[in-house]
Amino acid sequence: MPRPLSATIHLDSMQHNLARVRACTPGAKVWGVVKANAYGHGLERGMRGFAGADGLALIETEGAVRLRELGWTRPVLLLEGIFEAADTALLDHYGLNSAVHCIEQVEMLERASFTRPIDVHLKMNTGMNRLGFRPDQFAQAWRRLRAIAAVREITLMTHFANADELEHPRLTVREQVRRFCKGAEGIDGPRSLSNSGGVLHQAELAAELSNDWVRPGIMLYGGTPGGRSAEDFGLRPTMTLASEIIGVQDIGAGDTVGYGSRFEATRPMRIGVVACGYADGYPRHAPHGTPVVVDGVRTQLVGRVSMDMMTVDLTGIEGAGVGSKVVLWGAGLPVDEVAEAAGTIGYELMCAVAPRVRMLEADLGSAHG
């Protein structure tokens, strides 16, 4: 028998969450973001789960090529663009769209030879201060791209730093939109502004936001960028990390559990050992009290997470023992709740699931775009 640890991917929930994107942003086309191996779900599963998207977006050039090899025929967008001049051949051969965020990328496109038209997303830095042209540099970059014969459509793009908190004291979405509109004044072209936060707050920002394309990421996988819960937004979990109890210890007051003996029992307790550890992607820094579900009953982590195992409190869970089913996040336990307890974000937990964890798939047809 294989080790009783698995990550089940719910493709129907992926479809549902994509439908929620469309409901929030009627009329906008949707890039389904599948970077980082579709947030740990597997690129091929991401392609099938988001078969209804207008395009797929990711960072990795090899992933873009793989999507074409898997049969995806709709647009593919490289969110960081190309990394060296040789990558222009990939754009041409595989018909990929590319973000353009710096003058070096513009120069690569100017020097390249293309056999077909290409579409690009020109990125403006409106305050995130990672990638993109400043608003006062944007028009000049656009003119240089417009002068390249092979460049067909130029989508105007930015990225929100604080879309989960609309009135952020340092930088609001509205201020970023204002900067974007000023930098893009007089420039025609489709616009792509909203990440998951922007999509989820579309109703509040309807007067400011005008998206021809949106780029949801975490919400497609049943998490939120912050603020309200995924359930509040009508989102469903797309990954359930589950295992079993493989051992039980009955301990008394004063006994300790795990490496470093950091947890000390103050009363008699029944401790269950779960087949999952940090080598599987569960965060080693998760503290005592991090929620876990055993046989449908919510309990908590005790002691330090080790490489292959973790320990949980079974006290008071009637009938719990070796073979009991454990949900570490997913159906019945939101990944965001586990992440918050561990001082991280749901993105990291899903992306960190290790290759040795068996990936299972909930039933769904295999059609793709």
Catalytic residue ranges: 35, 259
- The four Cα atoms 220, 224, 230, 234 give a dihedral, to 10 degrees, of -50
Binding positions for substrate are 130, 307
The token pair at 211 is 């998206």
Q: Determine the residue type at 9.
A: I
H-helix or E-strand containing 241? strand 239-251
**CA atoms of 303 and 325, how far apart (whole Å):** 20
Annotated binding site: 130, 307
Q: Which residues contact 81 (CB under 8 A, 6 or more apart)?
A: 98, 99, 100, 101, 105
Give SS3 for 301.
strand
- For residue 344, CA distances in Å to 131, 267, 278 come to 24, 30, 14
Beta carbons of 259 and 306 less than 8 angstroms apart? yes
Q: 56: part of which helix (H) or strand (E)?
A: strand 55-58
